[in-house]
Amino acid sequence: MAHLSDMPEKQRNMIVNQDLPVYDDTACADGPALNERKIAIITTAGLHRREDKEFTPGVGEYRIIPNDTDMDDLIMSHVSTNFDRTGFQQDLNIVFPIERLRELAASGDVGEVADYHYAFMGATPPMAHAAVSKDLAGLLKRDNVTGVILAGV
């Protein structure tokens, strides 16, 4: 991601003055200890499998990444010109820390790795995600996921 100081003034002001939602409360729920949790990854890197449809700009959609996906089969279709792909090209774990999560599960620090992970494309208006967020919450609940790693990029 570009630094604000490197952006043209007009773009910098647009980002700094962006109208963002305000939440009255934070949804929290008690759950099991970390070493008993089933963890999924949710990333905003615009990742998807080669056979999946590319992301559509401005649309609140997501892609499902099965845990057994060959990580070499993941591609990034994020459309932002300010999105630095260098880290992703060098190490997928920068935007989708699946290997680190698997290591934590193998060491017993987390209970288990979820069967499915999810990718959104950042640079999308928050309200565009409203409808699909309920759908995603249902999928996570159905899969007995009790924790997530939010990899916002």
Domain ranges of the chain: 34-151
Count other C-beta atoms under 10 Å from residue 53's C-beta. Answer: 10
Residues of the chain with pLDDT > 90, as a percent, come to: 52
Calpha distance 79→19 (Å, rounded): 21
Q: Could you give the maximum distance between any two Cα atoms of the chain, in Å?
A: 49
Calpha distance 128→144 (Å, rounded): 26
Six token digits for residue 109: 């620090």
- In tens, the pLDDT along 5-37 reads 888 999 889 989 988 888 777 666 778 999 999
pLDDT higher than 80, residue 69: yes
Under the banding of pLDDT at 50, 70 and 90, the label for residue 2 is low
Calpha distance 125→10 (Å, rounded): 19
Q: What pLDDT does residue 59 have?
A: 86
- Contact assessment for residue 63 and residue 119, using Cβ atoms and an 8 Å cutoff: yes
Q: The tokens 């939602």 sit on which residue?
A: 21
Under the banding of pLDDT at 50, 70 and 90, the label for residue 84 is confident
Query: End-to-end alpha-carbon separation of the chain, Å?
Result: 8
Calpha distance 141→145 (Å, rounded): 6
Q: Could you give the 3-state DSSP secondary structure of residue 53?
A: coil
